[in-house]
Structure 1
Amino acid sequence: MAEFRRAYGAATWHLLLLAGCFAVTGWIALRLAGEASAGRMLLWFLGAVIAHDLVLFPVYASLDRVLRRALRRGGVASPLNHVRVPALGAGLLFLVYLPGILGLGDGTYLAATGLAPRTMLGRWLAVSAALFAGSALLYVVRRLSGRQR
């Protein structure tokens, strides 16, 4: 078993988990192969991969580097994750609900649900503000409890 781990580079359960993931992915691909919109889905997926790898990743990696340098200059490195986590949550919510936040696809939404579309910009801003406020509150509590020790 140690020889397998050395040759493979990870534990046996890792290989089994990957095989299961590939099996599920293959099953989904076979299910979608007969769909009329499979080509559009594949094109959207490839576009999302390219947009993330070539545009989004360099942007948020650069922002993280700038944030790390700014916090180190002030001598405080601990609030970094208290900014990263709510920013990640707000960013993911923005990507998931992008059409609703920007007010796009109102006709599609109405046709699919029968409900009048409402802009989600205010809700997204409120949730994002709550994420940052909760993180700031947690940071303050941690700083105050650290002083008492």
Structure 2
Amino acid sequence: MADLRRAYGAAPWHLLLLVGCFAVAGWVALRLAGEPGAGRMLLWFVGAVIAHDLVLFPAYAAADRALGHAGPSLRNHVRVPALASALLFLVYLPGVLGLGDGTYAAATGLTPEPLLGRWLVVTAVLFAASALLFTIRRALRWTS
């Protein structure tokens, strides 16, 4: 066991878990290979990986590093509403961007037009609440 740990660099359970994950991913890939839309799914996956790894990750890593100089408290008060806003954006992406009008209307009976404005309002409220909480915490720290 010690030789395996020294050669692999982690515990044996880590290797077992990793092999299991690759097995599940391989099974899913084999199941999707026969689907007619598999090429489009692969294209979207590769595009998402490239967009995230080459564009988004360096951008939010640089912003996080810049916020780190202002202090960990401010960093967390920006991270939480940004993460919530990004998650909402991803969940409602087609509606926020105005895509898929027919699908959204057929499923809900509504138009996706107000989703962008609502997402912007929710984002503004999240950041405003976080800024208010940061200000209150800062004021309480100065008074004590």
Question: TM-score category by the smaller chain?
Answer: 0.7 to 0.9
Q: How far did residue 42 of structure 1 move?
A: 0.4
With normalisation by structure 1, the TM-score equals 0.77
Q: CA RMSD in A?
A: 2.6
Q: Percent identity?
A: 68
Q: Which runs of 5+ in 2 are unaligned?
A: none
Alignment of 1:53-132 (within 5 A): 53-69=53-69, 71=70, 76-111=71-106, 113=107, 115-119=109-113, 120-132=115-127
Query: Do the aligned residues in 1 keep the contact of 2:89 with 2:119 (CA within 8 Å)?
Result: yes
SS in 2 for 1:78: helix
Show structure 1 runs of 5+ residues with no match. Answer: none
Q: Distance in 2 between matches of 1:23 and 1:9?
A: 21
Residues in 1 aligned to 2:108 and 2:132: alpha-carbon distance in whole angstroms: 40
- Counterpart AA for 1:54: L
Counting only pairs closer than 5 Å after superposition, residues 9-48 of structure 1 correspond to structure 2 as 9-48=9-48
TM-score of the pair, normalised by structure 2: 0.79
Aligned residue pairs: how many? 143
The CA deviation at 1:45 is 0.7
CA deviation string 1:6-52 (max 9, x = no partner): 21111122112212211221121111111111001101111111111
